[in-house]
Amino acid sequence: MPKNKLSLHLTLFFILLCATAFFGYQSFYVEKSSDKQVEINNNNSVTNNDIETNNKVTTTEDKIIPNKKQQTSTLVQETVTTSIQAISEEHKQLPYSATITVNQKNYTVDFEKEGTILKDLLDKLQTESDFTFSGINYSGLGFFITEINGIKNDNKQGKYWVYYLNGQSAQAGISVQKINSGDNIKWSYENSTF
């Protein structure tokens, strides 16, 4: 190897060695002794069937940082906290909603797609609120309501639960009636002619 190349390599090596020592030392140098606490909050919504949790994970890491002036070391403790919140599918924001009225009490039920069957919305509402209903499923005819919120059909008096869709008497049973966003379903306990 020629002498000029050798001195060039040695010079570059010396410069790199000095730069590494200088910048490496600066990254560990602490002007004052202090405790440093870092907190990171991660509030991501995670959807997963049938879970609802709120977990907190805390990690503590000790670092020893040399102090040039005092020839001592300072212990700095860093704490990182991460919060994870998972929301069950029932609680996620759904794009459509309809109003169901019973005895002048309004219930809002959210649903995922237009054309959802009314019986499915009543089942969903029953799990999410104080609304209750029961009935009988007749093969070939569909589901027939026999009770809403504790009030039963009365065959002797001829009083039954009937519903109105957007102010009009319903033309289909709840097993086949499709509901769209903004629809109003009103249940009325009244004398029926059927």
DSSP 79-104: EEEEEEEEE-GGGSPPSEEEEEEETT
The CATH topology of domain 93-191 is Ferric Hydroxamate Uptake Protein; Chain A, domain 1 (2.170.130)
pLDDT digit string (tens) for the chain, length 194 residues = 556 777 766 776 767 665 666 555 555 444 444 444 444 444 444 444 434 444 444 444 555 555 555 555 555 555 444 434 444 455 567 889 999 999 999 999 999 999 999 999 999 999 999 999 999 999 989 999 999 999 999 999 999 999 999 999 999 999 999 999 999 999 999 997 66
Q: Where do the domains of the chain lie?
A: 33-88, 93-191
DSSP bridge partners of 110: 97
